[in-house]
Structure 1
């Protein structure tokens, strides 16, 4: 079995996930979470993080028993190639959904907020093209672009957080549990769907130079919890729960509040950099992992696969679906299915790896 030479460091993998999954937790999930859990949404983040710390035991077990070998190759060799292909196909469907949802939400947002006269198709064609190019260039390119983009994204995040302090009223976080624990647990489903994307580390572990420990997974979970908690509490304390729940893009609206002195305002264009950075890496990584799952490494193979993905995603992301319908699909179907699907997938993978190990084939 071919063993791929690791190409990126653990720090680079953390940067990739902070931008990729950070966009979901920081931006996309928050409107749904606020609608479900109201002012207690921040408790949902804590509970989801605690549950995730138990779940990553499964991921760590799987990785620690296969070395630096692609997981789908391990399964194909230990059982039958069709088993590996079926699991790779399931992962590819999940990754494809990530690409489509991210593209749709990104082009819709930029069309609604900054350039309503420009057709959504134009944004989709251009933005998805540069993401395809990055995916074609491979994991090293994705890691390098993340290393450049993330520091500025983080600085801008702290900038808007501290600059909006005068607008924050933390008394709006009370009363706690006014409607009991049921809304909090409902919110856990949505936050959990965000944390579930840590499984991407499982998919790309053979590209990372260092062995991933339980602490490695825990660090990422805690970082993602912080990325979710910041804009979530900011939205509640700056707008109030009723108004925040009505906002389609709360993280963006926080930028619109920001002013510097009396004469400098309209700094919300910085949010374009933050959002595009996260979406760019998120789509690039997902497309690369689709190629990696099916072991498509030739230039011709990558060209045709990425070309097909590009065309289908453009078609789906520009379909005339109202935002209300899109959000309903996200809340009622996509996010819950993501959580339970990833949990089931990780348990199945861990079970197959354990069985292969007992048969002496996991590390061979």
Structure 2
């Protein structure tokens, strides 16, 4: 539902703009794992789609405030170029991403310093990033309503230990999760660690000391299968406990394989690190194949000692784990040779 505008660096009208996604989008986070082909499989949006308008309405953001934000965005290159006017539809999309920013700052998942650093990394000047952050902090965010959680559904637990394809959580359908684990409030265990959701959030009690946090994928091709989840512990645990939590959400043949230490991206103002562990599972390939064409017999878990934000890991990796991001596929270092937290 939320799509970003292009953030364009300063330059003359004759220069080709340096296009980069605005840092307020989920793509800039190393934690984004939804497959590209799922998005490509989505049908084109209907002309009468009101999802963005509805989202802004529930957030308490009307067109007057949307246009004020749009004017600041246009003046600072958060659109089609510096001082190039955007239309109302584009401004609504920008407003939608900034609602997420406001809510994440409010729960401590993001900081204004981190927001500015990521915008600069995407092409804004320090002055442009500061102007946007100042407007958000002083004029836009005070009008944004807090995220309102939907009532928890009634459940009848006692479902099977694995889904029809042999999965035990990762890439399993939401219906299996609802029959297997108790839903718990998102706001209590997930908001600060994983951020406020823009889609439909779900949280489940995995164990006495751990909850699973996830957002139901909007892509119809994913059929409401949870292909990426976060495990959040009440307090940091050792690597053995973390491994057991991961294995509980993978097919029974899964085993830990390659380990790689990760670092925060260069632009991050945070000094932090993480540990990535790839898990092999032949059965996982058939589990994932139901929702993903290029399914692989791999999953990866990223361990964070404190937490993960859009700005990178909070603090160094210490061998104790507060949060785990578990996703399909293996995770490997990038072109620089470094694995990004």
Q: What is the TM-score of this pair, normalised by structure 2?
A: 0.26
Greater percentage in helix: 1
Larger strand percent: 2
| Larger RCO (CA under 8 A, 6+ residues apart) | 1
